[in-house]
Amino acid sequence: MSGKLIWHFRPFVDLSVAEVYEALAARQEVFVIEQNCVFLDADGLDCRAWHLLGRVDGMLIAYARLLPPGVKYEEASIGRVLTTKSGRGRNFGRALMAEAISRMEELFRAQPIRIGAQLHLQRFYESFGFKAASEVYMEDGIPHIEMLRH
């Protein structure tokens, strides 16, 4: 994998069947298999979301789901943030979050953004201006914390 990171950004209705399949497969690989966490990933929110897909050499290596205010939280939110195994260690996660925040600002102007972050990634998200906005809580057996970016 030596190519450039290319972004594709679409609402759910504009995703191809292949893109939906690819995104769901990547989410299952990371969140269910790698994290050994059995949960219902298809939570009914995808159809109300914008989907950010990052590809290198045509292969999906980064993904995030962007939700408008009032869908999951009162604020807009970014979730299902992942880089695939083949994309790790190359700062694609950092590029993904920067791109996701930029797209959120385009879509929703100066709205705050809330995330439900895995606790071990708190410092990563703090580097993008997110601040802790809840106590630590367990979700699917993994410690999480809500974070807010104004």
pLDDT in tens, 15-43: 999 999 999 999 999 998 888 888 888 89
| Torsion over CA: 96, 40, 75, 22 (sign) | positive
pLDDT in tens, 83-132: 999 888 899 999 999 999 999 999 998 789 999 999 999 999 999 999 99
Q: Give the global pTM.
A: 0.94
Exposure string (b/e) for 11-45, b if CB count within 10 Å is 16 or more? Answer: ebeebeeebeebbeebbeebbeeeeeeeeeeeeee
**Structure confidence at residue 1 as a pLDDT band (50, 70, 90):** low
Domains and CATH numbers, the chain: 5-149 (3.40.630.30)
